[in-house]
Structure 1
């Protein structure tokens, strides 16, 4: 989100979801994570509209790892979305929120038997199988419980997105999925088809994250249809569902040039229609798994400015009361963000500063260079587009409590995750003496 697109009050305060961000900081304390729920709903509707125009059967499956709380799953339920989880903890949270189990898919490259038992016991919609051990474990669970379940196979198609190396997942050299090129995928297909308790409904692939071009998705769509044809010819099996994952990029700074969700979806759909027609296959149901693109632009981190360090001839360090414990991405990925002073939205830009966190690491720099008005202790800094992978990757490093989370919508604010207390930090500790 570009700062010029933000709303401000006559007092020069940042407005989020119709609520004064400075008042939120004072009411709930900082650091504070704020989500504009209306923005989440708008993005979901944009995804849906793109598919509705195509006439294809589809499913939008929210990637929980971007941000998973009870309140988030409740919003997804209201919007009639599917969701994917990648751990027993995410699955437990979704179920605790009352999210429909039959609209949950379970990802993960090392699911435990206990996690698979949890999935089967709760009759979730689909398990997305990632490796050969998982086939064995899931078979054991289904036999022991005399149950059956829908499954997909996660494939590694040999397509690499042009993103940070940690965000690439579709290339051959990846920890995820069955490799297509080596024949692993064919072997996995045959094993699963031989197990009567597993109903194989589709195939899945994910090529990476923060993708700004359609070329990778076009290549993936072609590859998925090609695999479908090969399996039709060799094994008399055609997947009903093609799940092309997520990874749709968003704008964190002016350097980013994202394209609309409709552009991604239109290219995926047109390619699948063209390729299935050419190969004489029926049109499949199409799934996607957006996470960052749904919650990223809707999230904001609010901090209070404390000390600053001014160095002659160099940028000053503006120190805030949060940092890498509530947003590890700048340190981990060298991710870039933009920020504004929430209580000085109408003030003129006077300086460029480092925005630094309070954690005992030199690398705890939230933004390396940010143009700002004159910043003083007590000012409220709002980092933009922090809704994805910030709170979900938060830690207690330096024994700092994790922040509270507030949802705002139509002028109302609601606390949805309480701030951790110091007592929470030692709640699981046991005495040694």
Structure 2
């Protein structure tokens, strides 16, 4: 077993896996951090074959054990600052029921973004006080269901709030809401979510004369992962809470939404090196990406088209920085301001909680060349089944050699293509090397896909079935989809 493996241009290296010699890597490698359970699966070709045979390709595997560790990391940062703190798992990040169960078992709540997400959580026995509805667009059915069960609703706009007041008029109870706040601060980018503080105050004074809305807290949504922006908006939220208390409301929390960073890669040099090489790539050169695709950026700091797969400060360290930020007006830290006002801080992470919880397997369908000779490796999956809203998934998959003819194979490289009948049907847009070859029947494993990458944009176009979702418990598997009954495989 070699210790390193040279890439095509001789500029990049990838450390050999603790499992086996690397059998697949990008021409500019981006080596994923793996959980022990992932390593165990990948090192067992017979199990992988059996799973694909039983459930089809692609297949989403889950092990939620690392969620507890991720939760504990955030809680430790909050406890160090002696603040009241609660975590709500972003349900939209993963549709399995097991993710709900694990979050609740760890004492977290659930952030839901649709009628069905709320209905599933209620049917699953999630306590109503551990739910919040944050959907960007809320149907009347969703609003009614939340009102019926006393679930807090994050209000986004006047039309939505007016509709809620009409529904609330049918009930004797006041309706629990959080006001979604859009910042007035020029240091924070414009957002489509929420209203400014003066707009909310005006609405409450003018439209809610019966006092049907019970404002339990302030909620906001920010794009990106900038902790300093979160701190600014927490401070702004606390100012709004003061104004609301003067109106007779009793808000008790600030919910800063998601966007808590995580890191998929341990090697910062690989991450920087990939972007440096991409920036230098001549037009038309496909040695790194399909049709020399720049993935929307020329450097890791400038890129907004892809998730930052390597980040230095994540989860607990990031939250600590937010809490230690000083408000320019009071010169008090965010943590001090929360404690003095008796306000709970909430967050709604998706990726950060599901870090380490998912692995996607797909079977190789064929190898061939494009009409101009570019090598292709076809998979039994489509490009929506390992992708979020980003331009690409920037981790090296792992090859599990389960196909036939392994003795006759030669080293090769190529692009991973999928099942949709369009020219740009790329599973990943990067070029990959296969030092020991690749063939029909092999299995490609996509690491750490549990947060958003499996489900957020998955499509059953061409009437292809959606991937099965399976929870692993040793060598036993349990179907873990929203409409699936349990099954086992030994």
If the TM-score is normalised by the length of the shorter chain, which range does it land in? 0.7 to 0.9
Output aligned runs, 1:26-105, within 5 Å.
26-105=53-132
Tell me if structure 1 keeps the 8 A contact 2:324–2:335: no
Q: Distance in 2 between the 1:279 and 1:394 partners? A: 39
Secondary structure at the counterpart of residue 196 of structure 1: coil
The reply to whether residue 317 of structure 1 matches residue 341 of structure 2 is no
The reply to whether residue 112 of structure 1 matches residue 139 of structure 2 is yes
Secondary structure at the counterpart of residue 178 of structure 2: strand
Find 2:173's aligned residue among 136, 147, 151.
Answer: 147
Find 2:421's aligned residue among 360, 372, 378.
Answer: 360
Partner of 1:302: 361
Partner of 2:194: 177
Q: CA deviation at 1:58?
A: 1.2
Partner of 2:42: 14
Find 2:317's aligned residue among 238, 244, 263.
Answer: 263
Q: CA deviation at 1:367?
A: 1.4
The reply to whether residue 219 of structure 1 matches residue 245 of structure 2 is no
Q: Distance in 2 between the 1:160 and 1:109 partners? A: 23
Partner of 1:285: 344
The reply to whether residue 132 of structure 1 matches residue 147 of structure 2 is no
Over the residues paired in the alignment, what is the CA RMSD in angstroms?
3.5
Q: Distance in 1 between the 2:378 and 2:214 partners? A: 54
Q: What are the ranges of 5 or more consecutive residues in structure 1 without an aligned counterpart?
A: 162-169, 421-433
Tell me if structure 1 keeps the 8 A contact 2:262–2:314: no
Q: Distance in 1 between the 2:93 and 2:117 partners? A: 11
Q: Distance in 2 between the 1:6 and 1:128 partners? A: 35
CA distance 1:276–1:378, change in 2 (3 Å): closer
Tell me if structure 2 keeps the 8 A contact 1:69–1:93: no
Cα shift readout 1:354-406 (whole Å, capped 9, x = no counterpart): 11111112232121223444211101001122212222432211111111001
Q: CA deviation at 1:192?
A: 7.4
Q: TM-score, normalised by structure 1?
A: 0.80
Q: TM-score, normalised by structure 2?
A: 0.72
More strand by share: 1
Find 2:256's aligned residue among 241, 244, 254.
Answer: 244
Find 1:326's aligned residue among 374, 381, 385.
Answer: 385
Tell me if structure 2 keeps the 8 A contact 1:101–1:123: yes
Tell me if structure 2 keeps the 8 A contact 1:356–1:367: yes
Q: Distance in 2 between the 1:157 and 1:349 partners? A: 58
Q: CA deviation at 1:200?
A: 0.8
Cα shift readout 1:205-236 (whole Å, capped 9, x = no counterpart): 11114x2x43332333333334445666x757
Tell me if structure 2 keeps the 8 A contact 1:405–1:417: yes
CA distance 1:349–1:270, change in 2 (3 Å): farther
Q: CA deviation at 1:83?
A: 0.9
Secondary structure at the counterpart of residue 354 of structure 1: strand
Secondary structure at the counterpart of residue 382 of structure 1: strand
Greater RCO, 1 or 2 (C-alpha within 8 Å, sep 6+): 2
Find 1:204's aligned residue among 214, 219, 223.
Answer: 219
Q: CA deviation at 1:418?
A: 8.3
Tell me if structure 1 keeps the 8 A contact 2:350–2:451: yes
Output aligned runs, 1:382-393, within 5 Å.
382-389=445-452, 390-393=454-457
Q: CA deviation at 1:75?
A: 1.9
Query: Could you say which structure has the larger radius of gyration?
Result: 2
Q: CA deviation at 1:88?
A: 0.5
Tell me if structure 1 keeps the 8 A contact 2:338–2:345: no
The reply to whether residue 397 of structure 1 matches residue 461 of structure 2 is yes
Higher mean C-alpha displacement, 135-144 vs 265-274? 265-274
Q: Distance in 2 between the 1:90 and 1:280 partners? A: 33
Q: CA deviation at 1:251?
A: 3.2
Q: Distance in 2 between the 1:386 and 1:72 partners? A: 13
Q: Distance in 2 between the 1:117 and 1:418 partners? A: 22
Secondary structure at the counterpart of residue 78 of structure 2: helix
* Corresponding residue pairs, total: 399
Partner of 1:375: 438
Secondary structure at the counterpart of residue 145 of structure 1: coil
Q: Distance in 2 between the 1:147 and 1:118 partners? A: 14
Tell me if structure 2 keeps the 8 A contact 1:46–1:261: yes
